[in-house]
Amino acid sequence: MPSTSNAQDRERSRLIAQIKQRFPSAQQRSQLVPGRKWNHATNAQLRQVLGVQSDAAANKPNKGTSSKNFQHKKLAERVGKLAGGVEERLGGREEVLKKIKAAVTRTRAQAKKEGREVSQQELRAAAFNALRGIAKDNKVKVKNSGAAKSEKAPPSKTKSARKTEKAEPIRKSRSKVKPEEQAKPVDKAKTAPTIQPVSLAELKAHTKPIEPSSKTSTDKPASPPAIKTEVPASKPASSPEPKSEASEPLKAKPFNPHAIPDLGLDQFKEYIQDRDKIEAQNNPDAVWNKTYGQWSHGDQSRQKTLSNYRIELSQAIHSGFAPPDHILRDSGLKLTRKEQQKLEENKSELTKKQKNIEQIDKAIAHPLISDEEAKGYKPKMSEDEAKSYTKDSFMGDISFYHGNSHAVTNSVTSEGVKTERNNNGIFGQGFYLAVAKDEAEGYALSFGRENEDSALLSTKVKVKNPYICNSEDITNIGTHFPGNQSSGTDSVKITEFLRAKGHDSIYMKDHGYFVAFDGKQVATYDLEELGSERKSQIKERMLSNKGTWDEADDRAAATTGGKLLKQVKHTESRKYEASEGEEW
């Protein structure tokens, strides 16, 4: 049973997280609690700011939803009748389960947002409401036991007629059908669907906690099947037009079973802190992972005495680290009762941190392109080979371009793309491309030295789930991960954040920029050397430009691929705010 202080600490962590989300500006938060710092306020003051109840009040059971008044069997029977009809209309149980899981997920998320535990009654009610909504949208009618009572009763029969009815059941069944009804064709669409009852145990199974990898990307009910219309014989149908690049639908294909699509920046920052702590704990060069002999290297100077070694171990414990038992035993350090208690707390906390980072670690480490998918990859391909290699890509047949110095482009066509070499990109670590050829030519000229030739690469890309956004979104994300690089941004963490959310690349709709996270996603099919004449033409064009981002937007929008990708919706509806430089 958790102690009261632990429960209060967990509640305080949730309240602080909610306040940071609701009031992203540090200036706003500084004015929340008059006369004191907001993060030093009591839990009651924080709840007053948010306008929420305490955990104890929120978790208090409601009489109306108690298990005593909650009729499980009745709900299971009603859900079973609805599920039978909905399954028949939607074409299988899997579609129904998707809707149930989506409804349960929303209920859990709402309860978490309100800072309370969700009850099983709420989850089952959410499942039933989801089914009822699907049934209504798809016009599924379920005939219940009371329907027979509402029908008009047949006229009473005499005693002799009843005897005749028992003796001749076949004639009885025919006599019940009216003559005018016999001529009418049966409308199968209006007949009641076969009902498959669902047991209470099966209903409970649908309301179990859902793993992040099984989340669906849409909560909308499936639309009813489209009605096919036949073309009259007197008016023959025209032959279909050949599909163009713009007619291909762009659909994301989630590929990472460990992905966390709703991962937030605060949660990812906490992950980075925990990961750094675990890495420091496991650092073989740290004093708490060395014996006295390893630490001193035989140096008997005043700085390397056994007494100083023990002091360093004690300080490590006070700093939240946990020296292994054999290190402490060999050092002869006698821990006080308070130090022993702190050491046990450190071990427990480090174990918890290790468990917390495992899921995000798996999401980041999941391959972006499998060995099977990478079959046929070559650093340089023909255009037909590149099309074949990227035929299942989200980007379809769209070409992207990369301009750089002759030395860089030659290394790409000979060794392949090495995304790890680019750690200075403001839009994340990866290989940068542009949908507009003119834009890439400008970069080729700027990256090439005075006495060095420049070149332009033409590529296709093999991606499944790019992060679709505007450049401002990525720039704002980058402000939360400051780095010591020339860009002032830790580009590796930007890429790790998006990979943890299940994305394998970035496309910025406004500038038409694309960032590949893996080198084998890029299929290069042409290398164009930019001679002196071509470079002069590019330079003249660049000098005539104003050098604004609006011009980059115009160049992207003028291309076929840019026009197509402009229509794709952003991956996330929320906007990321720029960091104000707070310590985290």
Residue 512 near residue 562 (C-beta atoms within 8 A):
yes
**How many helices (H) and strands (E) in the chain?**
25, 7
Residue 467 near residue 501 (C-beta atoms within 8 A):
yes
How many C-beta atoms surround the C-beta of residue 4 within 10 A? 9
pLDDT at res. 434: 96
Same domain, 403 and 462: yes
pLDDT digits (tens, 9 = 90+) for 205-229: 444 443 444 343 434 433 434 434 3
- b/e 138-164 (16+ beta carbons within 10 angstroms → b): bebebeeeeeeeeeeeeeeeeeeeeee
According to DSSP, the β-strands at 513-516 and 505-508 are antiparallel
Same domain, 307 and 393: no
Residue 499 has pLDDT above 50, yes or no: yes
Same domain, 429 and 475: yes
pLDDT at res. 196: 47
Residue 248 has pLDDT above 90, yes or no: no
pLDDT at res. 287: 92
Q: Is 376 left (phi over 0), alpha (psi -120 to 50) or beta?
A: left
Residue 526 has pLDDT above 80, yes or no: yes
Q: Greater confidence, 451 or 154?
A: 451
- State the amino acid at position 203 in one-letter form: L
Q: Give the residue among 252, 232, 516, 569 at the shortest CA–CA distance from 402.
A: 516
Instruction: Give me the percent of the chain exceeding a pLDDT of 70.
Output: 68
Residue 516 near residue 430 (C-beta atoms within 8 A):
yes
Q: What is the largest CA-CA distance in the chain?
A: 122
In a domain, 94, yes or no: no
pLDDT digits (tens, 9 = 90+) for 31-57: 777 766 777 778 887 787 777 766 555
Same domain, 430 and 388: yes
- The whole-angstrom separation of Cα 32 and Cα 51 is 12
Q: Give the residue among 200, 210, 183 at the shortest CA–CA distance from 97.
A: 210
pLDDT at res. 65: 44
In a domain, 580, yes or no: no
According to DSSP, the β-strands at 513-516 and 431-434 are antiparallel
Note the pTM of the prediction, 2 decimals.
0.57
C-alpha distances (whole Å) from 348 to each of 231, 267, 268, 353 are 72, 20, 21, 9
Same domain, 291 and 394: no
Same domain, 326 and 423: no
Residue 244: Cβ-neighbour burial (10 angstroms; 0-12, 13-18, 19+):
exposed
Residue 61 has pLDDT above 70, yes or no: no
pLDDT at res. 559: 92
Same domain, 393 and 525: yes
pLDDT at res. 368: 96
Q: What is the DSSP string of 256-318?
A: -TT--TT--HHHHHHHHHHHHHHHHHT-TTSGGGS-HHHHHTT--SGGG-HHHHHHHHHHHHH
Instruction: Give the pair of three-digit tokens for residue 230.
Output: 């036949």
C-alpha distances (whole Å) from 559 to each of 285, 359, 466, 522, 553 are 54, 40, 19, 20, 10
Give the least confident one: 44-53, 451-460, 569-578: 44-53
- The whole-angstrom separation of Cα 134 and Cα 85 is 10
In a domain, 33, yes or no: yes
According to DSSP, the β-strands at 467-469 and 505-508 are parallel
Give the least confident one: 26-40, 70-84, 449-463, 522-536: 70-84
Helix H or strand E encompassing 474: helix 471-478
Straight-line distance from the first to the last Cα atom of the chain, in angstroms, rounded to the nearest whole number: 31
562-572: average pLDDT: 92
In a domain, 171, yes or no: no
Please give the backbone phi and psi of residue 417, each rounded to the nearest 5 degrees, phi first: -80, 130
Question: DSSP state, 324?
Answer: -
pLDDT at res. 47: 80
Q: Read off the CATH number of the domain in which 442 is found.
A: 3.90.228
Residue 245 has pLDDT above 60, yes or no: no
Instruction: Give the pair of three-digit tokens for residue 300.
Output: 């008997």
Same domain, 292 and 405: no
pLDDT at res. 215: 40
**The domain boundary residue, chosen from 330, 365, 400:** 365
User: What proportions of the chain, in percent to the nearest 5, are helix, strand and coil?
Assistant: 50, 5, 40
pLDDT digits (tens, 9 = 90+) for 278-309: 999 999 999 999 999 888 886 666 678 888 99
pLDDT at res. 268: 95
Residue 289 near residue 322 (C-beta atoms within 8 A):
no
Same domain, 425 and 454: yes
Give the least confident one: 162-171, 334-343, 426-435: 162-171
**Residues 47-54: contacts with CB under 8 Å, at least 24 apart:** 47/15, 49/19, 50/15, 50/18, 50/19, 50/22, 52/15, 52/18, 52/114, 52/115, 53/115, 53/116, 54/11
**The domain boundary residue, chosen from 365, 392, 408:** 365
Residue keyed to tokens 């706003």: 28
In a domain, 22, yes or no: yes
HEC profile of 573-584 = CCCCCCCCCCCC
In a domain, 404, yes or no: yes
Instruction: Give me the percent of the chain exceeding a pLDDT of 90.
Output: 39
Q: Give the residue among 499, 495, 366, 500 at the shortest CA–CA distance from 425.
A: 495
Same domain, 514 and 413: yes
Domain count within the chain: 3
Same domain, 410 and 278: no
Residue 344 has pLDDT above 90, yes or no: yes
- b/e 331-365 (16+ beta carbons within 10 angstroms → b): bebeeeeeeeebbeebeeebeebbebbebbbbbbe
Q: Is 29 left (phi over 0), alpha (psi -120 to 50) or beta?
A: alpha
Residue 428: Cβ-neighbour burial (10 angstroms; 0-12, 13-18, 19+):
buried
Same domain, 421 and 328: no
**The domain boundary residue, chosen from 315, 337, 365:** 365
- State the amino acid at position 476 in one-letter form: N
pLDDT digits (tens, 9 = 90+) for 94-151: 667 777 888 888 888 888 877 777 777 778 788 878 777 777 766 655 444 333 333 3
In a domain, 336, yes or no: yes
- The whole-angstrom separation of Cα 229 and Cα 239 is 16
Helix (H, G, I), strand (E, B) or coil at 468: strand
Residue-range definition of the domain harbouring residue 11:
4-60
Average pLDDT across the chain, whole number: 76
In a domain, 434, yes or no: yes
Residue 530 near residue 440 (C-beta atoms within 8 A):
no
pLDDT at res. 152: 41
pLDDT digits (tens, 9 = 90+) for 169-183: 444 444 444 444 444
pLDDT digits (tens, 9 = 90+) for 371-392: 999 999 999 999 999 999 999 9
The sheet that has 400-405: what strands, in order across it? 467-469, 505-508, 513-516, 431-434, 400-405, 454-461, 522-530
Q: What is the DSSP string of 187-212?
A: -GGGSPPPP----HHHHHHHTSPPPG
Q: Greater confidence, 203 or 466?
A: 466
- b/e 55-85 (16+ beta carbons within 10 angstroms → b): beeeeeeeeeeeeeeeeeeebbbbbbbbbbb
